[in-house]
Amino acid sequence: MKITFILDDFTTLSNGTVITAHRFRDELIRLGHEVKVVAIDVVGDDMFPLKEKYIPIVTEFSHKQDTHFSKPEKYTLAAAIYNSDVVHLFVCWKTEQKARKIAKQMGISCTSAFHVHPYNILFNIGLNKFKLFNDFLFWFWRKNFYNKIKTIHCPSKFAFDELKKHKYRAKLHVISNGYDPAFVKKEVTKDENYFTILMIGRFAKEKRNETLIKAILNSKYKEKIKIIFAGRGPRKKHLEKISSKLPNKPLFSFYTKEELVDVINKADLYVHAAEIEIEGISCIEALACGKVCLIAKSKYSATSQFAVDENCLFKVNDFLELRDKIDFLIEHEEYRLEYESKFLEESKYYKLEYCVSKMVEMFQEAIADNRTLLISEKSEKGKRMKKRVKRGAIKSMVSMIIYFALALPALAVNKIFYGLKIKGTHNVRKVLKKGLGAVSISNHVHNLDSTFAALAMFPKKPTFTSIPKNFELPIAGKLINVLGSVPIPLSKEESNVFFLELSSKLQKGELVHIFPEGELVAYDKELRPFRKGAFYLAYNAKVPIIPMIITYRYRKNKDKKPKITLIVSEPIYPNYKLLKDDQIADLKNRSTLKMKELESKYLK
């Protein structure tokens, strides 16, 4: 692939986004891809330099945070983007906005990352207590930039959840920024006179370095503990001042990569106290070296995802809880050694090579989606399928009116004739409250089982898929059509548009119901093998599966058809750590196991 990276800064190696860009570029080139870079003052092959933009007041402040802004020079951007397969934007400032427009004009696929949380900015200007400003920035960025991007890279599940909560409708890929392969566990000579605790990161307010200092000041082992703060930043003098009462003077230093590997390995414990963190690469580097990590649990931080259990977490800013956990680990070395192996095992999902493989999959999907979008606009089959899935505003409104008009009569008919009972509808609401769509699945055992599923999701109107011949039925076919069912595609061209448009619906928080068994077998008591379409769709849209099972309550008169109970199970979420094919297979396997469990409990 020919990939173009657009970011304002590519030279400030204390900035996490810049470090990520370097690592991704180097690994992509190693894998045989061509990578061009557009940034301030870059030099070399496949480098397209921009000039720095001076913004009064903002520039002085941003420089202290190791952040720089570039001038969006049209001709430089166009020269870099030309002949690319995909353009990847790292932030959402003016240069990236201009690059997106140019890529669109050239018909080139464009993806973006979400590396900057609004709370990071607000925290550093003293507005972090005003949730309104945080919500405004999320809205502003969505409206002016991210809503115009079809594919977004989220460095953590936390970032994914934040974007969903704020109604971002793009395809969101959860991919760690990964750690450099240089970070490995190795034998080193430690200073046996001290218990060394390490914290890595910029000396900034949101990193909460003082939480560790206060914890050690209150520890009964403070005479034995030595702290290393690895990094640099505007609060260094402040931290040196408040740590002056510690028996052992902390070391404040910035290390090269090679030096940092040794420093981590020599440490006895790693502490990550940050209140705000999109991911927390320094924590990944520590667990890659097999260090036990104590991590702050904050609603604004993703880093708690690396904790192997609750024992490795402490409440953000709670220095007394942190002190107690440090003291416990000093007293119980065997416990600490046991947890080192657990953290080392967890690190395999964050290897740079693995994460870049996921990025390659994201780029390939974005390129394929862009092609499918063109097919849906130019090909007759593509246009027809898009029209059937998307429907116009008037048809959608008529469909909704008819759906609500038929819902209560359908419930009455199903209760009277089939004794329908529905259990577990709270599991549908649980997903919708998170702003997510979902793919619901069930066994296909009744002519009216689609109405059973629809009633379980009421008042949310789901989209159903159906075989094309059903649309040809004299009366039922018209009803199926008007209620918004979608015909299963018969060609690859139609299939690509089908999945793209259904994924778009799911990303907007809608529901799609699929019968993964395929054919209907009336009152079947055994689950049949599942096809993978439902699970591919859930992966593609990054939404959970909601399993449902239709079960029977037999009457005393065996000649009469049994009564129906529909059980809605808890949602099954994609395992975002896995590669594409593994995610789809994992979703299918876990859904099958859950349905088998329901089968053995209710269906026999």
Q: Which of 363, 500, 431, 547 is nearest to 161 (CA)?
A: 431
pLDDT of residue 126: 63
Q: Sorting pLDDT into bands at 50, 70 and 90, what band is 479? A: low
Same domain, 75 and 127: yes
Does a structural domain hold residue 183? no
Helix, strand or coil for residue 148? Answer: helix
Same domain, 274 and 360: no
The residue behind tokens 């690059």 is 99
Cα angle for residues 390, 509, 482 (degrees, 5° grid): 35
Residue 493 has pLDDT above 70, yes or no: yes
User: 47-50 and 86-89 as β-strands: parallel, antiparallel, unpaired?
Assistant: unpaired
Q: Which of 98, 92, 71, 171 is nearest to 139 (CA)?
A: 92
Residue 471 has pLDDT above 80, yes or no: no
- Within 10 angstroms of residue 376's Cβ, the number of other Cβ atoms is 24
Helix, strand or coil for residue 221? Answer: coil
Q: Quick one: tokens of 186?
A: 């190795």
| Contact present, 231 and 202 (Cβ < 8 Å) | yes
Q: Quick one: tokens of 17?
A: 């986004």
Distance, in Å, from the CA atom of 144 to the CA atom of 88, rounded to the nearest integer, reads: 17
Same domain, 125 and 51: yes
CATH code for the domain of 384: 3.40.1130.10
Same domain, 207 and 74: no
Distance, in Å, from the CA atom of 385 to the CA atom of 361, rounded to the nearest integer, reads: 25
Q: What is the mean pLDDT of the chain?
A: 89
* Most confident option among 332-346, 464-478, 560-574: 560-574
- Within 10 angstroms of residue 188's Cβ, the number of other Cβ atoms is 13
pLDDT tens, residue by residue, 15-71: 778 989 999 999 999 999 999 999 999 999 999 999 988 888 777 777 776 778 899
End residue of a domain, out of 342, 365, 388? 365
Does a structural domain hold residue 188? no
Once rounded to an integer, what is the mean pLDDT over residues 469-494? Answer: 74
Distance, in Å, from the CA atom of 191 to the CA atom of 207, rounded to the nearest integer, reads: 26
Same domain, 14 and 133: yes
Distance, in Å, from the CA atom of 121 to the CA atom of 131, rounded to the nearest integer, reads: 13
- Within 10 angstroms of residue 281's Cβ, the number of other Cβ atoms is 24
Does a structural domain hold residue 373? no
Same domain, 46 and 168: yes
Does a structural domain hold residue 189? no
Q: Which residues pair with 200 in a beta bridge?
A: 230
Split into its structural domains, the chain has a count of: 3
Distance, in Å, from the CA atom of 162 to the CA atom of 114, rounded to the nearest integer, reads: 10
Distance, in Å, from the CA atom of 452 to the CA atom of 92, rounded to the nearest integer, reads: 45
Does a structural domain hold residue 182? no
Once rounded to an integer, what is the mean pLDDT over residues 373-383? Answer: 84
CATH code for the domain of 238: 3.40.50.2000
Task: Round to the nearest angstrom and report the end-to-end CA distance of the chain.
Answer: 52
Same domain, 330 and 385: no
Q: What is the DSSP string of 368-437?
A: HHHHHHHHHHH-HHHHHHHHHHH--HHHHHHHHHHHHHHHHHHHHHHHHHH--EEE-THHHHHHHTTT--
87 phi, psi to nearest 5 deg: -115, 130
Distance, in Å, from the CA atom of 131 to the CA atom of 151, rounded to the nearest integer, reads: 27
Distance, in Å, from the CA atom of 500 to the CA atom of 498, rounded to the nearest integer, reads: 6
Whether this model's pTM surpasses 0.75 = yes
| Contact present, 179 and 288 (Cβ < 8 Å) | yes
Structural domain including 45 reads: 2-174+355-365
Residue 404 has pLDDT above 90, yes or no: no
Does a structural domain hold residue 259? yes
Same domain, 532 and 465: yes
Q: Which letter does DSSP use for residue 572 in this model?
A: B
User: 545-553 and 171-174 as β-strands: parallel, antiparallel, unpaired?
Assistant: unpaired
Q: What percent of the chain has pLDDT over 70?
A: 95
Same domain, 200 and 246: yes
Distance, in Å, from the CA atom of 523 to the CA atom of 512, rounded to the nearest integer, reads: 23
pLDDT of residue 407: 67
Q: Is 132 exposed, middle or buried (0-12, 13-18, 19+ CB in 10 A)?
A: exposed
The residue behind tokens 């097919």 is 375
| Contact present, 98 and 89 (Cβ < 8 Å) | no
Does a structural domain hold residue 285? yes
Same domain, 475 and 338: no
Same domain, 388 and 500: yes
More confident residue, 410 or 84: 84
More confident residue, 589 or 13: 589
Sequence-ordered alpha helix ranges (H) in 437-475: 449-457
Q: Quick one: tokens of 502?
A: 């259904």
Same domain, 266 and 361: no
